[in-house]
Chains A and B, each alone.
Chain A
Amino acid sequence: MDFFTAMRISSSGLTVQRTRMNVTASNLANVDTTRTPEGGAYKPRHAVVAAIPVAQTFGEVLADKLHTQTTGAEVVTITADEGPGRLVYDPTHPDSNQDGYVEMPNLSVVNEMVNMVTANRSYEANVSAMQSLKQMAKNAFEIGA
């Protein structure tokens, strides 16, 4: 029963969404990248999100009489898609192989745009949650006034 637990949960959500935005931005920027330091075309990145218990002080754990065990979220890892890239026939391209095919990143701009929009919406939702909680705290301060 804690104002600050909820704030930590919401901020973990905000971090997750921001990371997803970064990943999406990186993918979108590299939609035509055929050369990477690792060799080959750019591999699309993907954020893996997991639910984690929010770190609480011992006193808060004791006070959690309701045992709701709420969890925040966390980006556990950012994986690269190891599958083969898209082969596009373009013999004039400097990176084309002997058959004239260029390996392009296996990305869909449309997918990434959708990811961007949902990350944005989720970010706003978490901001609303935090604002709602701040408002509740203000109301609590007015008790007894």
Chain B
Amino acid sequence: MAAPVQFPSLGPQSPMTPMFGESRPGGRLSVVSLDGAALDEARGAGIANADESGAARGVHKPFTDFLKAQVENVNSLQKEADTAVAAMVTGQSGNLHETMIALDKADVSFRMMTKVRTKIIDAYHEVMRMNI
């Protein structure tokens, strides 16, 4: 019997979390719970905490908005990787590691998104299989 999927409350933070958000321990990671030590680390690492501004309000954004923003983020990372590769092959940029890092980030974020999608679908199936 699968553990029920957690949808932690998002809190009033902006779904468009910037890439270079500040690193603060205890920052909230709003994603379906996955396994792995890295996720613990990522949880502790940076979402720009808009908690201060919104905590007082206590408004919850819909999860779909968050998902959409994350998908857009993944898309923009893919585009950045494409741009970096294009600049490299046309000779406009000679910065190898920048290109490799952009490709790697696109890779990681895309895999993450795929895994999240799989988990959500699995969770849905699980829920649908429940006998009422």
Chain A positions within 8 Å of B, measured between CB atoms, are: 1-5, 57, 59-60, 63, 137, 140-141, 143-144
Residues B97 and A140 in contact, CB atoms below 8 Å apart = yes
Chain B, range 86-112, C-beta contacts under 8 Å to A: 87, 91-98, 100-101, 103-104, 107
Which 6 residue pairs across A and B have the least CB separation, nearest first? Answer: A59-B92, A144-B104, A2-B94, A143-B100, A140-B97, A140-B96
Which residue of chain A is the closest to B93 with respect to CB atoms? A63
Q: How far is the CA of A2 from the CA of B101 in the complex (A)?
A: 15
Give A9 Cβ to nearest chain B Cβ, in Å. Answer: 12
- Residues in B with CB closer than 8 Å to A3 are 94-96
Q: How far is the CA of A2 from the CA of B94 in the complex (A)?
A: 5
Give B99 Cβ to nearest chain A Cβ, in Å. Answer: 9
Q: How far is the CA of A57 from the CA of B95 in the complex (A)?
A: 13
- Residues in B with CB closer than 8 Å to A57 are 91-92
Give A81 Cβ to nearest chain B Cβ, in Å. Answer: 41
Grouping DSSP codes into helix (H, G, I), strand (E, B) and loop, the B interface class, with mixed when no group exceeds half, is helix
Q: How far is the CA of A3 from the CA of B101 in the complex (A)?
A: 15
Give B124 Cβ to nearest chain A Cβ, in Å. Answer: 32
19 CB-based A-B contacts, threshold 8 Å: A1-B94, A3-B95, A4-B94, A57-B91, A57-B92, A59-B87, A59-B91, A60-B92, A60-B93, A60-B94, A63-B93, A137-B96, A140-B97, A141-B96, A141-B100, A143-B104, A144-B103, A144-B104, A144-B107
Which of B93, B94, B98, B101 has the largest count of A CB atoms less than 10 A from its CB?
B94
Which of A4, A57, A137, A144 has the largest count of B CB atoms less than 10 A from its CB?
A144
Which of B87, B96, B100 has the largest count of A CB atoms less than 10 A from its CB?
B96
Which residue of chain B is the closest to A142 with respect to CB atoms? B100
Which residue of chain A is the closest to B98 with respect to CB atoms? A1
- Residues in A with CB closer than 8 Å to B91 are 57, 59
Could you list 19 further interchain pairs (A-B, Cβ under 8 angstroms) beyond the known A60-B93, A144-B107? Answer: A1-B94, A1-B95, A2-B94, A2-B95, A3-B95, A4-B94, A57-B91, A57-B92, A59-B87, A59-B93, A60-B94, A63-B92, A63-B93, A141-B100, A143-B101, A143-B104, A144-B101, A144-B103, A144-B104
